[in-house]
Amino acid sequence: MTGDSLKKRKIAVLGSRSVGKSSLVKQFIENHFVESYYPTIESTFSKSVTYKGVEYDCHIIDTAGQDEYSPLNSQHAIGIHGYVLVYSITSRNSFNMIQIVYDKIVDFCGVSDIPCVVVGSKADLQQRFVIHVLTATLSSSRQVDASEGEKLAQANKAAWIETSAKNAFTDASMSTGKVFELCLAEIEKRTSPTQTEPQTSRCLIM
Ligand SMILES: Nc1nc2c(ncn2[C@@H]2O[C@H](COP(=O)(O)OP(=O)(O)OP(=O)(O)O)[C@@H](O)[C@H]2O)c(=O)[nH]1
């Protein structure tokens, strides 16, 4: 298949600082995990992904961490087909940011329904809980229950998954590939077969 015949899909990865956005993307693209933390400015990666027998040329934009005051960068809204919104299961604040970011995208794009997957990252830290219980130290690292993540996603008609960039290799249920498959599924649900540009009702004055 030539590059031209691939379906291009642009996916933006957004969320608070240090939730593991870059680690998720790096694990998916390069199959490795880095323990050290280097704040991201912005990076774009490409990968060809086959989903339901169709090959997609995915451009994944790893963005800088957001807070409630960060304005949505227009480059993270215009021409974007789908979103991966990441919180860490160990940070309640990062979970609260998901609705804020989602609402900013909806406001900017002027459409009420955007293709989106909500991701609870660092799910391996939940396993540390078990170790703590066994050693009777009883301190959980989890601050956000899976059911809360699922409920938030449902309320916004988004997909939801928990994952771990750290354990993606050793635990298939934490695969980072599944995140991007879910995102493609959300995009395809809302895309007509002839449509190449993402849906937006925003009027732009150039
Ligand atoms: N235990 C664990 N640590 C993780 C995981 N993903 C990321 N981390 C760690 O969390 C820290 C932040 O990860 P990054 O991927 O740089 O986070 P980010 O969201 O891209 O951060 P910004 O660039 O500030 O937006 C790093 O020290 C990572 O090693 C994970 O799945 N499990």
Residues 6+ apart with CB under 8 A from 146: 89, 120, 162
87, 89, 173: which is closest to 129 by C-alpha? 89
Residues at CB less than 6 angstroms from ligand 1: 17-23, 34-37, 39-40, 64-65, 121-122, 124-125, 164-166
**Residue to probe by mutation, ligand 1, list 22, 23, 86, most atoms within 8 Å of CB:** 23
* Nearest Cα residue to atom 1 of ligand 1: 122
More confidently predicted of 132 and 23: 23
Q: E strands within 124-179?
A: 159-162
What pLDDT, in 10s, does the model give residues 55-109? 999 999 999 999 989 888 888 889 999 999 999 999 999 999 999 999 999 999 9
What pLDDT, in 10s, does the model give residues 16-51? 999 999 999 999 999 999 898 888 889 999 999 999
Tell me the mean pLDDT in the region 175-187: 94
**Residue to probe by mutation, ligand 1, list 14, 16, 17, 18, most atoms within 8 Å of CB:** 18
Complex ipTM over 0.95:
yes
* Nearest Cα residue to atom 14 of ligand 1: 20
111 phi/psi in degrees, rounded to 5: -120, 150
**Distance spanning both ends of the chain, measured CA to CA:** 36
56, 69, 58: which is closest to 17 by C-alpha? 69
* Nearest Cα residue to atom 16 of ligand 1: 37
